Amino acid sequence: MRLNLWIAAAVAAVLLLMSSTYVVREGHVGIVLNLGRVVRADVGPGLHFKWPLVETAHVYDERLQVLDAEPERYLTSEKKDVSVDFFSIGKIEDVTTFYRATGGDETIAVARLAPIIKDSLRNEINSRTLQQVVSGDRNQMVAQQLDAINRGAATLGIRIVDIRIKRIDLPPGGEVIEQVYRRMRAQRHQVAAQLRAEGEELSQQIRSEADRQRRVILAEAERDAQKLRGEGDAEATRIYADAYGRDAAFYAFHRSLESYRKAFDGGNAAIVLDEDDPFLEYLRDDR
């Protein structure tokens, strides 16, 4: 009987010791409540003691946490609809405020923090054009709203270190995406027209150069032909002159035959001359 009492006492002592101690790991912070009232906060890493039954310890991770959110739709300064997907990086800055604002529930903290971030981003995106939102400096866009976001997050005991925009999309089926497609088609048509114009210009240059070379070649060929004909005529004249100089009568006879051939070319010519005309000298029977 006495042994059973000792065993029961030992078990009670162990349970009492276990309920009066708690451990805070590295990178975490503890808070102690006495009947629901915060009595100790910012408890650092290590083994700590608390009053059993009347005190409760809660331990939270104070390292950087990624707080994800659903994509949000915004309007740019041009009243164009965009969908922004982002996530934030934050940590618990004041564990007492965090507990009082959220009851220590991280899900509630994320739910209350998301509207603060979204409203701040909305102010920034509403003041920018679609091109500035899509192709601008996103880090600068977020940095300009980070102070305002942290003022709101401070009421939750949280500090936001950074906000990263994962992607910016145009909502499907909207007028904006149709405008983007029209602009892309117009740009492609413009590029195609420019390429065609450059090709036509290059074609004209090639044709002009080919025509110039053709004219130069023809002119040079005509020049060479004229030169050769001139040289041939000169040589023929020299030969004729040499031949005719040796026999003047034969030269006169040959010239007359050439004249007859030209005069009676075609066979239908009729010439009326005096019978003593020198032109008929080689046609008389007495020759």
Residue-level pLDDT at 176 = 58
Which residue is it, tokens 């492609």? 188
Question: What's the maximum distance between 2 C-alpha atoms anywhere in the chain?
Answer: 188
Summary mean pLDDT of the chain? 79
Can you give the pTM of this predicted structure? 0.52
User: Bigger pLDDT: 68 or 210?
Assistant: 210
User: Who has greater pLDDT, 212 or 141?
Assistant: 212
- Mean pLDDT computed over 84-104: 87
For residue 73, what pLDDT is reported? Answer: 82
Q: What percent of the chain has pLDDT over 70?
A: 75
Confidence of residue 75 (pLDDT cuts 50, 70, 90): confident
Specify the pLDDT at position 69: 78
| Closest listed residue to residue 175, CA positions, set 71, 276, 76, 30 | 76
Confidence at residue 272, expressed as pLDDT on a 0 to 100 scale: 61
65-171 CATH fold = Tetrahydropterin Synthase; Chain A (3.30.479)
Contact at 8 Å (CB) between 101 and 158? no
Would you state the structure tokens that stand for residue 276, as one six-digit string? 């003593």
Residue 274's pLDDT band (boundaries 50, 70, 90)?
low
DSSP SS3 for 140: helix
State mean pLDDT over 169-186: 69
Residue 257 above 70 pLDDT? no
Whose tokens are 């040499």? That residue is 242
pLDDT at position 6 is 60
Closest CA to 87 of 68, 115, 109: 68
Q: What is the pLDDT of residue 126?
A: 85
Tell me 157's DSSP state: T
pLDDT at 174: 56
In DSSP notation, 16-72 reads HHHHTEEEE-TTEEEEEEETTEEEEEEE-SEEEE--TTTEEEEEEE-S-EEEE---E
The tokens describing 250, both together, are: 């034969």
**pLDDT: which is higher, 267 or 39:** 39
Q: What is the pLDDT of residues 99-132, one digit of tens each?
A: 888 888 888 888 888 888 888 888 888 888 877 7
pLDDT tens figures, 40-56: 888 888 888 888 778 88
Six token digits for residue 227: 């030169």
pLDDT band at 78 (very low <50, low <70, confident <90, very high): confident
The pLDDT score that the predictor gives to residue 283 is 58
Q: What pLDDT was estimated at residue 284?
A: 56
Contact 96, 139 (CB under 8 A): no
In whole angstroms, give the CA distance from residue 192 to residue 25: 65
Given a cut of 80, whether residue 13 has pLDDT beyond it is no
Mean pLDDT of 32-40: 84
